[in-house]
Amino acid sequence: MKRTKEFLAELDGGMLAFFREIAHEMVVRFGIPRAEAVARINSAYEGADIEAYPDIMCHELPEYWAVGLYFQARDGKLPHGDSDEDLSQWEVRPAPPKTSHVWTLNE
């Protein structure tokens, strides 16, 4: 388990790949820069106790986590992240401030 230059949680190789898949999903699905996707992940998981792959997070696909990091909860619920789900009615969660240390990558 080690910390990388991009993610602020200690991750083994498998979880690093999983976090990169979450970031990739946000980039592809929502059209945001990878730096923003990584900042959103860092904001949520900095200092989290992430176990070696497969951590309990892996019971859900990266798409699920990407949607939860990108959209605001509504009535305590988030979209499921299914590819055919209409996400147009969901409010986007604000990205972390650009001055925050969670932005570890340049855009």
Q: What is the pLDDT of residues 19-76, one digit of tens each?
A: 999 999 999 999 999 999 999 999 999 989 999 999 899 999 999 999 999 999 888 8
pLDDT band at 81 (very low <50, low <70, confident <90, very high): low
pLDDT score of 83 more than 70: no
CB neighbours (10 Å) of residue 7?
22
pLDDT at 70: 96
CA–CA dist 37, 24 (Å, integer): 8
